[in-house]
Structure 1
Amino acid sequence: MKTYERAFKVSAVKLSYEREKGQLACLARELGISSDNLYKWRKDFEKFGTRSFPGIGHPNLTTEQAVIRDLERKIKDSKITLEILKRGTKYVSQGKISAKNFIENNKSEFSIAKMLSVLEVSETTYYRTKKQELTNTESRVILLKQEITSIYYEFKRRYGCFKITRELQNRGFKIKNSSVKKYMRILGLRRKIKRKFKVTTDSFHNHYVVPNLLNREFTVNVPAKVWASDITYIQTAKGFLYLTIVMDLFDRKIIGWNLSSNMSTKETTLPAWEMAVSNRKIDKELVFHSDRGVQYANKLFTNSLDSNELVKRSMSRRENHADNAVCESFFTHFKAELLVGNKLLSRKQMKIDVHEYIENWYNKKRRHSSIGYMTIEEFDRLHFI
């Protein structure tokens, strides 16, 4: 059963209020959801307001129920605080080591952070006292956990165990992926989860299409030999934006892109192509691969490509997304790392965030499994581009 993020549901409901009642079925089709879902979400939103759609395992609560639950949590927290004080006060008065021992002996029942707060023991004092009694192996594990946590948040929760392992190795740590995976599980660190998103492609048109020359040969040994392109939609607080990319399969760099408010060729594929050509010179035969969307098949765009005799066009087979898997993969990571779990942004802020993601994160800092977990800049330096 397909699930939807809370932000998406709220946005869908708000969009529905801007439409006439008879247009709700049309809006549902535009959003890729059923009319029943949209009507149900509207009903829930009207009943619970900002408390709607709390997620699996979290029931909708009325204002009165939420107040009661909050009071119950405060009572429970007060009981825990009282119990820690009753048991631990005498140990704190006996010195740092005694306080540390009490915390260690009771960490299965109470969280360390809670005990430190209630007993007014500083975190620095606790860990310094604890570290003085640790073996070299134990000290190394603590350091590794701290470094893993630091990398995880430095890269905005986008890295899983493989990329964190490579980052640690680059920083001088000798560690295997299995160990990083274990420590991440212990620390409760999980990268942002990928979700499938609807693809925006209109391949049913009368324009001329070309065969699939690329034929899923996604590994390329020289730059400017194969470029791939695609378009996806991005939901904002006020409607949709459309992101067009051009990727060089040699180093997987996004060499051309454009963000637009409509799907016209002049606002999507044409400016992305022009940016790619200005960023990377075409000095030998180039295959330009895309899907069969009208933005790639119409005369305005094809004339621009055909004006360069070195460019050969290639298109995926109809409704076969695997033929352009590299771009599909980029959009999957893009939406998982930038959009999933975040609130809907204004169009202006989304444009800023997309520029930051592509130019400063993806093209410079992100580690890519397709090029040996190197960054694009590291890979390009290695291959003398």
Structure 2
Amino acid sequence: MSGKRYTDEFKIEAVRQVTEKGYSIAEVADRLGTTTHSLYAWIKKYDPKSSQAASAQIDQAKELARLKNELQRVTEERDILKKGRGVLRKPVQMRYAFIKDNQQFWSVRRMCSALEVHRSGFYAWLKQPLSATAKRSEQLSGLIKQFWLESGGVYGYRKIFCDLRDVGESCGINRVHRLMQREGLKSQRGYRKPRYSKGFQPIVQSNTLDRQFNPTEPNQAWVTDFTYIRTHEGWLFLAVVIDLFSRLVVGWSMKPMMTTALVLDALLMAIWRRSPTNKVLVHSDQGSQYTSYEWQDLLKQHGLESSMSRRGNCHDNAVAESFFQLLKRERVKRKIYSTRAEARSDIFEYIEMFYNVKRRHGANNQQSPKDFETFHEMKLACV
């Protein structure tokens, strides 16, 4: 098929069939339906042994390190501003005091930048002795904290003011309020029942497919679903898109997390490989990934129609369930995968090198999905 496009995930696994599994370039290109020229280009780009790939990996590592540093900087500044929002508009001395109290959490340079003060001024402030007012405030703060703790953390500034007056301390009630605010001391107040957010309303479509699993032409109806593969490294999730006409797996994606991106990438691969010109019916279950706005938007962008199984009815998507049963029975349950990469490579080999091009299927008169579609094209050409 001309104009066919492939995802990076597909290309990497195709390269591994040559570099790790020992298949010839011509054999892999023939089974995958691509050209040897494209496969050579993929090997040059994605094979870790090539200098270009090594250079790309170094650049990628540098960029990743830069992004990590940037993320750390942004995160620290966010946390500093979140904790220090009470002193952001206060006098410089109060900001200096905040920096001094939080040196064990963040660097002085980062806090000075976030709070818009100079480091030289902060270090000069550290060398200056406390003024009489500052010493008096520290003394009162210690008494205030003691009375607040003795109350079990329930007293406010009015009651604390009365306690200070009873022990002979003379200060204004507003000063007590300011000092308690600076120390983060509050009175015990009533509480409200927490309010829960309902989130977005899921988009559920009707069961348009209605178990019509045998269309007469390719690209009339696709079914999609995902499953999980156990490895010693953790779960590997596999999403597939299957053309009901020939049972050909036209799209797939494998990721370590069960996210909406998993099913989107599988559908995107199917669109790139098949380039349908008519409206295709895409059938799925009512999982959160398929009822998301991202999934529905992708369908609309490419002129695809959505169909969904009834809630809790796995038989409405029996073809996808049957494929997963075959995959696990014929390949996954016969292997023990140490890593996700090992499982990914083995599942790619099963789908693209065996199931699509060689495995005989009962629904195809004992022909492989690829041979069944080729035979159908030949019949149309003879008519």
TM range (shorter): 0.3 to 0.5
| TM-score, normalised via structure 1 length | 0.45
Q: Quick check: which has more Rg, 1 or 2?
A: 2
Calculate the TM-score normalised by the size of structure 2.
Answer: 0.46
